[in-house]
Structure 1
Amino acid sequence: DAISIKGSGTANIIGGGAYKAADKVIQHNGCGHVNIVNFYANDYGKVYRSCGNCKGNSKCKRSVHMEGVTAVNGGELIGINTNLGDK
């Protein structure tokens, strides 16, 4: 993972990019919200993924907002766990 978010609260990723990320670019292991704005991804597996097996998942709510994201030659933009309340 190029970026791993482990804390709670709001994380802002503004600008930047990632190339040739075979798996995830942004892994969200903490609780809270992630804003991804004006980001570029090329040749990736997933741009954002919320944790599916983190300790305390049932008490942890995660959400993500993407705006101005350009994604080329990749897989999923967002992978969340709706069964755990992710949005």
Structure 2
Amino acid sequence: MSKYQYDLKDTITNSVKDEVQNITKMANGNDYKISIQNQYFKDELNRILGSIDTSLPIIEKERGTISTYVVKASSYLKLCNHFVIQPIP
């Protein structure tokens, strides 16, 4: 994928934005979760977070799940801002 990343930049950006739009709030009310079937999306989201602010918490796999990842509120809000998405309350 990296070989064609510049040719596919818009497609990649839109796909990652779609993943952010699929984030939901967890039952604990503090964190958010996302189901990611492809490791690339998690890595790309963490790369974006690092480019925004290196002190933001990374997206990590939820313990005991196969493809559910936890997104801390501060990271979620920064991703929404980056992609110009209205955050869920």
Normalised to the residue count of structure 2, the TM-score between the two structures is 0.26
Normalised to the residue count of structure 1, the TM-score between the two structures is 0.27
